[in-house]
Structure 1
Amino acid sequence: MRIDEATLSHLQEWIGKSERYPDQVTSAPYRALSATLDRNDPEPKPGIFLPELWHWLYFLPHPQQSEIGPDGHAKRGGFLPPVPLPRRMWAGGRLRWVSELQIGDAIERVSTIKSVTHKSGRTGDLLFVLVEHQIFNQKGLALTEEHDIVYRAAPSPDEKPPAPTPAPRDAQWTKVINPDPVLLFRYSALTFNGHRIHYDRSYVTQEEGYPGLIVHGPLIATLLVDLVREHHPGRKLQSFEFRAIRPTFDIHPMKVNAALDLDDPSGQTLRVWAEDHEGWLTMQAKAVLSP
């Protein structure tokens, strides 16, 4: 399926569309993700700080079973434009915290489609959708997030993957992660993510052509932030931005890494990245700590 001018014009009619989604920061998802990440966090009582990126446990879409497509995603349309390309990926994002979210908060997310853009790449059509999320609690705006979604065509049999990028070798803090199927399944369950590439091995290898289950981009980003939290206890994030570079699969261990950005004399900025078992860069990120 090619994205012609008429199709792109139709998809761009979604620009400016918005939706509101109320929720509450309850304790059960916090407790479950803490266990999934092997953390020993305090009991999530009202007023306890919700760690950065854990808001992804809330505002979860709940499509009816009859609305699920063959890949496990909800069928196209609704809030997001009905892009006629089969592969969809959370390509990255940028987040800025204004105030803390806490257990017990009544929260609301206002989401707006900011842009729909098309590019013709080496492997065919690419369609980029930029969604802005604003999250409010009883104090007002708590968090802004820009969410990059990329759609692409299915690969051709003779398609070669892009050349990999070596990961930096100057990490100050490193952690080895075993992204086994149980970890991926638990994270899929916590985020109500039915996408079969994360838990259905026969589907991801036979239908999508990948060598193994794909580790969720948001999970990798969460593991990167968790590494920062582990080595900077008591420090809150002011901002975080990340970009997916290369898929990570469950068939080998992976690493998350961090190092102080020497270009920032304040010591608040960290370079953060993930790499696969061969040392190839899989996600690149920057974290800025509050003073």
Structure 2
Amino acid sequence: MSTTRTQVLDAVPVEAFRGTFAPADPVRAEGATLPPGWEGVFFPFAVALDDLRPDGTPARDGILPEIDLPRRMYAGEDTVFPGVLRVGDVAAQTATAGSLVEKTGASGRLVFADIERAIAVGGEVVVRSTWHDVFLGAASGPARPPRTDPAAAAEAAWIDEVTLDARQLFRFSALTFNTHLVHYDRRWARDEEGLDDLLVHGPLLRILLVDAARRHAPDRRITALRVRMTAPAFVDTAIRLCGTADASRVVALGPGEVVLATAEVAWA
């Protein structure tokens, strides 16, 4: 299954993201280069209310088949940037179902689903990504202990820190039309998903990882990105973004040196 949508990459959502998450970045008027990762504020979820699952994620989106598991999470992505997007471009995104793999883990049945996305301008693909989602059964019992990595901070060439509050999570949900309840409904997050608090969006953390790399290599161009989510990041909790000297790897750490996510970045 596949869908194609066309959208003008106008300055309004770009400025909304910048003003909320990257105030030190310059204002980007029409014609300015869109930073890699920021394409994530465009092509928001486009699913009718009746086609949402109880948790607020898409059930019937014209791309993936309907999957009979109650929880859905973003697990990461693999993206290449063969070209450059600019504010004001008229872009077409084609999203196609990729691989669908069912497994049984410690917590029961899981389904790993890929979505292939290509963004083209003037018929030329400038961003191509494979988005990885995972579908899970109902939360039951304590989660397995998360992976820790004390060396990520101890050996980092630089560390940036960010703490996201509920206002920022709301704004990102609004920007991307993301109705997943884990980002704004504490009762749902705790009682239904077994989480400690509101969850920071994986796609938001992905952009923050890329932005950190970009700040520490300002004269280079990102050509590829590999992101993996490994543990939940929570609202009102400090996240340290720990990078290598060449900004080719950034690790997001939570309290207790828990690895929340990793990003591997390739540069031109």
State whether structure 2 residue 267 is matched by structure 1 residue 289. yes
Among 90, 98, 111, which residue is 1:106 paired with? 90
In structure 1, what is the Cα distance between the partners aligned to 2:182 and 2:168? 14
SS across alignment from 1:75 = coil
Greater radius of gyration (CA): 1
Cα pair 1:76 1:83 within 8 Å, conserved: no
SS across alignment from 2:252 = strand
TM-score where L is the length of structure 2: 0.93
- Structure 2 unaligned blocks of 5 or more: none
State whether structure 2 residue 52 is matched by structure 1 residue 68. yes
In structure 2, what is the Cα distance between the partners aligned to 1:134 and 1:81? 20
In structure 1, what is the Cα distance between the partners aligned to 2:26 and 2:16? 12
Match of 1:23 in 2: 7
Cα pair 1:50 1:103 within 8 Å, conserved: yes
Root mean square deviation, CA, Å: 1.7
Question: What amino acid is the match of 1:277?
Answer: P
State whether structure 2 residue 256 is matched by structure 1 residue 271. no
Among 248, 255, 258, which residue is 1:280 paired with? 258
SS across alignment from 2:80 = strand
Counterparts of 1:223-262 in structure 2 under 5 Å?
223-260=208-245
- Structure 1 unaligned blocks of 5 or more: 1-16, 261-266
| 1:31 shift after superposition | 0.3
State whether structure 2 residue 172 is matched by structure 1 residue 187. yes
Counterparts of 1:103-252 in structure 2 under 5 Å?
103-138=87-122, 140-157=124-141, 159-167=142-150, 168=152, 169-252=154-237
Aligned length: 266
Match of 1:6 in 2: none
| 1:164 shift after superposition | 2.3
Cα pair 1:212 1:251 within 8 Å, conserved: no
Among 78, 84, 94, which residue is 2:62 paired with? 78
TM-score where L is the length of structure 1: 0.86
SS across alignment from 1:44 = coil
Cα pair 1:197 1:204 within 8 Å, conserved: yes
Identity among equivalent positions (%) equals: 31
| 1:251 shift after superposition | 4.1
